[in-house]
Amino acid sequence: MVHFRANGKVLLSAEYAVLHSARALAIPSKLGQHLSVIDMPGTHSILWESIDHRGQVWWNGNFPLELERYTSADPIALRVSQLLHLAKKNNPRFLASGCHVQVSTTFDLSWGLGSSSTLVSLIAQWAGVDPYGLQYHVFGGSGYDIACALATSPLVFTRWPEPCACPVGFHPPFANHLYLAILGQKQDSRKAIAAMPNRGIQEWEVTIGKLNQLTDAMLHCIDLSDFMAIMKRHEAIIGHAIDEVPIQESRFPGFPGQIKSLGAWGGDMVLAATHLSLPEVKTYFASKGINQVIPASQLLYFG
């Protein structure tokens, strides 16, 4: 048996703009996915099981080794087969015989921590191929989530001219005042990207310049009130860029602190910065029908 692990992710700054080479602050999560493989010599199929955070099989599949001929109406089966086929094209020695694959997730799949990116990283580790190549070919996106999959500390990611992830020190003294609220409305990042307004290059350059300054400001901020001001400014800039109203204005106007979207707007989770205690934060979000609130320091690799 061989075993691989990949971490989930949270994008703290430059969502959407990271696709246009903005400097993005990303933090890997302590939860992720594991992949275990048992070879079955003499067989000619790939038996696949996906297990959720409760230990229940939520999806399974059976793939032939001749993946170029495989087709399916099941979108999950199609994506997995595409990743395996591309990995084999990049490494012809991969999948020389049948095997039993088990993928176990330690986070709730509705949280948006990166079920796709962690799977890409796991298959790339298993096949010994470039994970960015798999990600860009099958899912698209910036690749910051791929960088987080093998990281255990915060990083600044840039997409162009090639993917670059630089580890950074980010453990603000107010980290215990940062919370993640799970909205339970998982977003499809590809659809969110496709729905972006068509902005000109010059307009994106101005936006990226502003966001790069805010990413740097986040990294060096030592005061909670200053950090909340940075969050608010960031929301206003992204809101203008994608023609959307920041989530605090639309859903949480009375929150005593600052709320920021993470990743594709409208779902997954939000970051809440506040002087409130955890019980008080939970009470507030419960009044809005949101019952999962986690201290950010419990879920993320600050460092």
CA atoms within 13 A on the CB side of 278: 11
Lowest mean pLDDT among 136-140, 196-200, 268-272, 290-294: 196-200
Domain residue ranges in the chain: 2-166, 170-299
CA angle 242, 222, 280 (to 5 degrees): 75
The per-residue pLDDT for 187 is: 54
Q: Give per-residue pLDDT as tens, 7-51.
A: 999 999 999 999 999 999 999 999 999 999 999 999 999 999 999
| Total number of residues shown for the chain | 303
HSE-up (13 A, CA, CB side) for residue 102: 12
- Residues 60/50, Cβ–Cβ less than 8 Å: yes
Match 């080794």 to its residue by tokens: 65
119 pLDDT exceeds 60?
yes
Write out the H or E segment, with its range, that includes residue 285.
Answer: helix 278-286
pLDDT over 70 (residue 195): no
DSSP letter at 21 equals T
> Cis (ω within 30 of 0) for the bond into 279?
no
Give the CATH number of domain 2-166: 3.30.230.10
What's the pLDDT tens digit per position in 228-255? 999 999 999 999 999 999 999 999 999 9
**Distance of CA 4 to CAs 9, 115, 283, Å?**
17, 15, 38
The DSSP bridge partners found for residue 257 are 274
Average pLDDT over residues 164-175: 96
Amino acid at 180: L
- Residue 94 tokens read as 């991969």
Res 264 pLDDT > 90: no
Residue found by looking up tokens 């032939």 in the block: 64
For CA atoms 78, 142, 109, 185, give the dihedral sign: negative
Quick one: pLDDT at residue 277? 97
**Taking 70 as the threshold, does the pLDDT of residue 86 lie above it?**
yes
Question: CATH assignment of 170-299?
Answer: 3.30.70.890
Q: Give the separation between CA 243 and CA 237, rounded to whole angstroms.
A: 10
For residue 177, pLDDT beyond 90:
yes
**pLDDT over threshold 80, residue 123:** yes
Mean pLDDT for the stretch of residues 79-105: 97
Mean pLDDT of the chain: 93
